[in-house]
Amino acid sequence: MERIRKRKHSSVKPPKSTTIAAVGPPFLDYLRPTAEECLSVRDDLLSHHGFPQEFLKYRNRRMRAKPYQNTQQLPEEDGEEIETVLDGLVRTVLSQNTTELNSERAFASLKKAFPTWENVLAADSKCIEDVIRCGGLAPTKSSCIKNLLSWLLEKKGKLCMEYLRELSIEEVKAELSLLKGIGPKTVACVLLFNLQLDDFPVDTHVFQIAKTIGWVPPIADIKKTYVHLNHRIPADLKFDLNCLLYAHGKVCRRCAYRKVDRKSKEETDGNGSCPLLAYSGCSTVT
């Protein structure tokens, strides 16, 4: 008797950046950081370093977007063109697994070689690779950018992502998570810096600091840390705290994620002792 084959039904996997969030925060019984602790760390880092200049333009734009903010106290943008969402997304893709200097060079080189995103889409992948090679992982990033532009043109009919400004945080995550090579950290950076929405990207600097001062359990990986910190940190502190932790992690040898020798570990960031040392000994309620 002939066997009847069962037809396989295709299934759509949930977007990767929302898969973890869909089951809720991973460490519900882990009660750090508290809102008070987040505020205290923000204030201590701000007093210690001042606000990082590299993020100041994004901070001013966020403040201008608040209807209750006294914008007369903010400096003018001096005719500076506000970065588009698409530019911000590609810039973040180019920043993956490389230094800030190299990623900025790669983005500048890309924009110089291809004045429009239509030019990038029409270009041969090898040409794009050669242009962005200084940023590292050129084949992977070139493929990601080409896929992004092709998807965008097919979906929206034009190479523009300003429509994301009308979506909620979860809608943006669901939208961008459909794209290969666009991970949770990249999406979170676009949310925070280009869309002025409250999210908390976790890179290696923030991840290491969070583990060092006990904001996540020792077993936490970077993905679960992202979900946990977004659940625990108050929305109105996410931007400042993220910028300050990132900037602090780059200069403080005590908090650096890279391996350093014993002498280096005893050094500080050159501006007094590390302001986060007081938090590493805090007790954790589990």
Active site members: 185
* Contact call for residues 132 and 172 (beta carbons, < 8 A): no
Helix-strand-coil split of the chain, %, nearest 5: 60, 0, 40
- Peptide bond between residue 26 and the one before it cis (omega within 30 degrees of 0): no
Residue 210 token pair: 């969070």
For residue 156, the SS3 value is helix
- Angstrom distance (rounded) from CA 241 to CA 52: 11
User: Amino acid identity, residue 136?
Assistant: G
Using the 8-state DSSP alphabet, how is residue 54 labeled? G
- Angstrom distance (rounded) from CA 106 to CA 168: 30
Taken in order 245, 249, 255, 257, the sign of the CA dihedral is: positive
- Angstrom distance (rounded) from CA 91 to CA 118: 16
Sequence-distant (6+) residues with CB within 8 A of 120 are 110, 114, 128, 145, 146, 149
Q: Tally the residues of the chain.
A: 286
With tokens 């039904």, the residue in question is 9
